[in-house]
Amino acid sequence: MNPDILRERQNATFDIEKLTNILDGGAERTNRRREIREVLVLNDPDFDYGTPTSLPTMILKLREYGISDPVEINWYKSMYWGTGREALGLHYVMFLPTLYTQCDSEQFNKWVPLIIGTYAQTEMGHGTHLRGLETTATFDPATQEFVMHSPTVTSIKWWPGGRNPLFLPLIFLSIPLSASLFDLFLSGFALPTCSGIVIGDIGPKFGFDAVDNGYLKLEHVRIPRENMLMKYAQVKPDGSYVKPLSSKLTYGTMVFIRSLIVGNAGIVLSQCCTIAIRYSAVRHQSEIRAGEAEPQILDYQTQQHKLFPLLATAYAFLFAGQYMIDTYNRISGDINQGDLSEMPELHALSAGLKAFTTWTANTGIEVCRMSCGGHGYSRSSALPDIYVEFTPSCTYEGENTVMMLQTARFLMKSYRQVQAGQQLSGAVSYLNKVHHRVMAPQAVSSQLDLNLNTLVDLYEIRAAMLVELAAQSIQQESARGKCQEDSWNNSTIDLVRASDAHCHYMVLKMFRDKVDQIEDPGVHSVMSTLAHLYAIHGMGNFTGDFLQAGVLTGAQVPSVSKCLKGLLAEVRPSAVLLVDAFDHHDKMLNSVLGRHDGNVYEAMFEWARSSPLNRTEVHESFHKHLKPLQAKL
């Protein structure tokens, strides 16, 4: 083991295993995750790590081991495929969940055990604006069939992932059967028997290469009436239409995935922090004091400023992910019982946190990569591949700006309810105080009150202020004679800023609540330090907001930076131990820089030597192209 890494792991001030248990949701979950990883994957003789041929093996293994819990499916898949996506990802996270949530019982029993499929909603002309989808579904009572058709080039289904060219069970959305309603259809197209179907691949992408994203053009293709997923809405044999309780129930799978993406952003950021911080502990470069040995780059304050706030953010997002999926499970359970009362709040929370966490993690991955210098640009680090695989999460499952505006819609509605004298509950209850809060500057003292509860309050006031400013912008636009839609559009910068601040407050609040639950003194102490770092770092980034909200004075601004520097120094001794607690296996990280043993240089040389370009002393291209050319010169 590298001596630097060894030294970093001495004198731990907290129990790493206990922190790993907290991240997993308990010791039992840690044990089960490791059992799946060590026994069911790594020690399985059939396991040929991540090669394409192993996809069928993975499916059969999941069935053989009886792994059906969504999170356990993800544990198994993550170990099997490492940090990359794989061809069946969409089947597990979109196709199956849609069948689980949108099929009636007869359809569920008929289809769920049997098929692998994709989710074809987006069209070439519309991904965001679902009410603009053009694919038609026309019911023919004479044959009890729907006629599916792509009337325009822009209606061609575009992007469905995992578009298996041989057999194409897919779920797709078509234009409304009645006022703004969408319906899901499951259509098992076996190509040789179905004319009128044109499918293909949409071509090379920025990444996401393990997933074959395709296109689908339908020319008056007929499918049985029974293929419409009928849990919430039905078309009867006589063609009559039974409306769902809410037209938004059809959007349920997207809400599910957005809820998963929040925790996934934390996982991906934790992977990158593991790589960058372990590497920074073994990389020596330049000098701090002339004549002395080159220091670990982790001892440079700028390196700590790059990485430690991201480390705190990774923990924050992992805890936010736990809260999000718990909230999703609770509210979706109520929805299943017919209680839709919290569906708007679930939508607003999942949409906003999905955008907030993916935007932040996306930037953070690049910071981690660049903090590793040239070796961060090498594929051996895994960081370029992680970035390329993660960055579309800012676009898919709801483009982030649009998602933030959906949250803003909920915030504006809530603000208006407060103005009308209503008492709010839930995540927006802080708006009840928006008119009564004394926004006067805090105590004149130039010292910041570092109590975590106080910091949460400051973020709450900042969010409330920005919600009010956005609402006032809309009111001012209306007062200038703009229609409601133009008043909204002319305020969307403020609206996104308000949603971002709302999500930032929510994430810090979740972090604080999680820290409050931690009983072990050592773990509580180090997590409290990270939560403070997360809050203070945000105050440094958005100082203007806190000044404008009157919760920070000009005299206190220098202490924000001073406090930040102190917290960076406080985290330094525990940095490697804090990434060890994420418990990412070397095989899954697949990173020379992030190895648990820190033996980076030896592994990097071996990695380079294994390149196909190094199979021969002289590359065949010399003999094939250069040597003949030299002979002519």
Q: Which is nearer to ligand LCNEECSX, 186 or 282 (CB)?
A: 186
- Token pair for residue 190? 């076996």
**Nearest Cα to 97, choosing from 266, 293, 260?**
260
Distances from the Cα of 282 to the Cαs of 23, 56, 57, 152, 595, in angstroms? Answer: 26, 40, 38, 58, 11
Q: Which is nearer to ligand LCNEECSX, 410 or 534 (CB)?
A: 410
CB of 397 to ligand LCNEECSX, least distance (A): 5
Q: Are 89 and 77 in contact (CB under 8 A)?
A: yes
128 near ligand LCNEECSX, judged by CB under 6 A: yes
398 near ligand LCNEECSX, judged by CB under 6 A: yes
CB of 444 to ligand LCNEECSX, least distance (A): 42
Choosing from 389, 397, 460, 477, which is the catalytic residue? 397
DSSP per residue, 136-152: EEEEETTTTEEEEE--S
d(CA 72, CA 69): 5
Report 334-353 residues binding ligand LCNEECSX (CB under 6 A). Answer: 343-344, 347
Among 7, 63, 131, 615, binds ligand LCNEECSX (CB under 6 A): 131
CB of 117 to ligand LCNEECSX, least distance (A): 12
Q: Which is nearer to ligand FAD, 15 or 399 (CB)?
A: 399
d(CA 28, CA 40): 16
Among 121, 227, 358, 400, binds ligand LCNEECSX (CB under 6 A): 121
Active site residue 397: yes
Q: Which does 260 bind (CB under 5 to 8 A by kind): ligand FAD, ligand LCNEECSX, none?
A: ligand LCNEECSX
DSSP per residue, 364-383: HHHHHHHTTHHHHHSGGGSH
The upper half-sphere exposure of residue 554, i.e. CA atoms within 13 Å in the direction of its Cβ, equals 0
Which residue in the block uniquely carries the two structure tokens 């009572």?
Answer: 141
CB of 427 to ligand FAD, least distance (A): 23
Q: Are 156 and 108 in contact (CB under 8 A)?
A: no
CB of 348 to ligand FAD, least distance (A): 16
Q: Which is nearer to ligand LCNEECSX, 4 or 397 (CB)?
A: 397
Binding site for ligand FAD (CB under 6 A): 90, 119-122, 126-128, 159-161, 208, 213, 392, 395-396, 399, 401-402, 405
495 near ligand LCNEECSX, judged by CB under 6 A: no
- Token pair for residue 27? 């010791």
Q: Are 458 and 539 in contact (CB under 8 A)?
A: yes
Q: Is 289 exposed, middle or buried (0-12, 13-18, 19+ CB in 10 A)?
A: exposed
**Does the annotation list 161 as a binding residue?**
yes
Among 251, 308, 390, 582, binds ligand LCNEECSX (CB under 6 A): 251
- Residues 210-249 vs ligand LCNEECSX: string with x where CB under 6 A? --------------------------------------x-
**Does the annotation list 553 as a binding residue?**
no
Q: Which is nearer to ligand FAD, 208 or 308 (CB)?
A: 208
DSSP per residue, 191-227: GGG-TTEEEEE----SS-TTS--EEEEESSEEEEGGG
d(CA 36, CA 42): 9
Pairing of strands 167-173, 118-120: parallel
Q: What is the number of helices (H) and of strands (E) in the chain? A: 25, 11
Among 49, 108, 300, 396, binds ligand LCNEECSX (CB under 6 A): 396
Residues across the chain: 633
Q: Are 128 and 262 in contact (CB under 8 A)?
A: no
Q: Are 191 and 164 in contact (CB under 8 A)?
A: no
Among 7, 220, 413, 627, binds ligand LCNEECSX (CB under 6 A): 413
Find the helix or strand (DSSP H, E) in which 527 lies: helix 521-541
Report 38-97 residues binding ligand LCNEECSX (CB under 6 A). Answer: 70-71, 73-74, 89-90, 92-94, 96-97
CB of 333 to ligand LCNEECSX, least distance (A): 14
d(CA 134, CA 49): 42
Q: Which is nearer to ligand FAD, 199 or 318 (CB)?
A: 199
CB of 160 to ligand LCNEECSX, least distance (A): 8
d(CA 369, CA 374): 9
Q: Which does 594 bind (CB under 5 to 8 A by kind): ligand LCNEECSX, ligand FAD, none?
A: none
- Token pair for residue 609? 């030597």
Q: Are 83 and 385 in contact (CB under 8 A)?
A: yes
Which sequence positions are flagged as catalytic? Answer: 397
Positions that interact with ligand LCNEECSX (CB under 6 A): 70-71, 73-74, 89-90, 92-94, 96-97, 100, 119, 121-122, 127-131, 161, 248, 251, 254-255, 257, 260-261, 264, 343-344, 347, 396-398, 402, 406, 409, 413
Would you list which residues are annotated within the binding site for FAD? 122, 161
